[in-house]
């Protein structure tokens, strides 16, 4: 008659407890949400002034012939969003500007030429905005929350964006890096501004707006090391996708 041998393995209670802790740690880590962006923060502009602004500590090193600018933005109360960003170069204060001044519609300016963007901002709500532009026929597109709201041509066609300028957040520049007008200043909050030297596809833009993925701009990427704050701009940890 065959006999069955049963092996009994005794595990020290402390060892068993550690193994259980390890398993729990693995489970918690695997389910924890990871931030989409390595630099998840927002900056705030509490009032209309000519001295509250942010400055990007980078400039363009070469002419660019296409671009996409995207950012998360939450406008404050009152008429007009103001100027979320402006790029000025020697001899041209309005090389690249996004502005909604007073009761006027939002506009994109390239080389001081303007087009109206069919966007309707909602006060107090975070929204994702993207604008694209190309020297080829001056073609432009405007996206809000991942949806294309409008497009057109003949916006400074064949004019490349010039290098060596100053990129300002929250103010419109009437001179290189300065001469701000309080009536055109931005009031609200912004986060995750990115600038690319190409036209992003609608799918790439939608993926960012819907938090399906995160892309860093090759010209400007939203990091604390790049954004310089002046005059009382606030800064808080923030990830628009969480």
3-state secondary structure of 74: strand
Nearest to 46 by CA among 182, 181, 227: 182
Return the bridge partners of 204, or none. Answer: none
Q: How far is Cα 103 from Cα 30, in angstroms, rounded to an integer?
A: 49
Distance of CA 122 to the CA centre of its chain: 17
Domains annotated for the chain, with CATH where assigned, are 55-118+126-234 (2.60.120.200)
- For the four alpha carbons of 235, 52, 175 and 112, in that order, the dihedral sign comes to positive
- Flag whether the pTM goes above 0.75: yes
Q: Please write the tens of the pLDDT for every residue from 141-196.
A: 999 999 999 999 999 999 999 999 999 999 999 999 999 999 999 999 999 999 99
Q: How far is Cα 184 from Cα 172, in angstroms, rounded to an integer?
A: 6
Question: Within 13 Å of residue 69, how many CA atoms lie on the same side as its CB?
Answer: 19
Q: How far is Cα 128 from Cα 192, in angstroms, rounded to an integer?
A: 10
Give me the pLDDT at residue 38, please: 53
Q: Please write the tens of the pLDDT for every residue from 38-69.
A: 579 999 999 999 999 999 999 999 999 999 99
């Amino acid at each position: 008659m065959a006999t069955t041998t049963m092996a009994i393995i005794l595990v020290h209670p402390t060892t068993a407890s550690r193994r259980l802790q390890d398993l729990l740690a693995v489970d918690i880590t695997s389910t924890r949400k990871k931030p989409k962006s390595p630099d998840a923060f927002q900056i705030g502009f509490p009032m209309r002034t000519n001295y509250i602004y942010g400055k990007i500590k980078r400039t363009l090193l070469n002419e660019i012939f296409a671009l996409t600018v995207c950012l998360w933005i939450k406008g404050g109360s009152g008429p007009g969003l103001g100027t979320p960003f402006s790029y000025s170069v020697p001899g041209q204060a309005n090389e690249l500007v996004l502005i909604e001044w007073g009761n006027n519609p939002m506009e994109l300016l390239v080389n001081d030429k303007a087009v109206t963007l069919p966007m309707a901002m909602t006060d107090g709500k975070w929204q994702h905005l993207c604008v694209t532009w190309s020297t080829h026929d001056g073609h432009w597109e405007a996206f809000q929350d991942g949806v294309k709201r409008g497009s057109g041509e003949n916006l400074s066609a064949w004019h490349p964006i010039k290098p060596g300028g100053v990129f300002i957040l929250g103010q419109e520049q009437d001179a290189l890096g300065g001469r701000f007008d309080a009536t055109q200043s931005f009031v609200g909050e912004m986060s995750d501004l990115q600038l690319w030297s190409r036209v992003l596809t609608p799918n790439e833009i939608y993926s960012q707006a819907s938090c399906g993925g995160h892309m860093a701009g090759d010209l400007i990427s939203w990091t604390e090391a790049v954004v310089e704050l002046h005059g009382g701009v606030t800064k808080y940890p923030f990830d628009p996708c969480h």
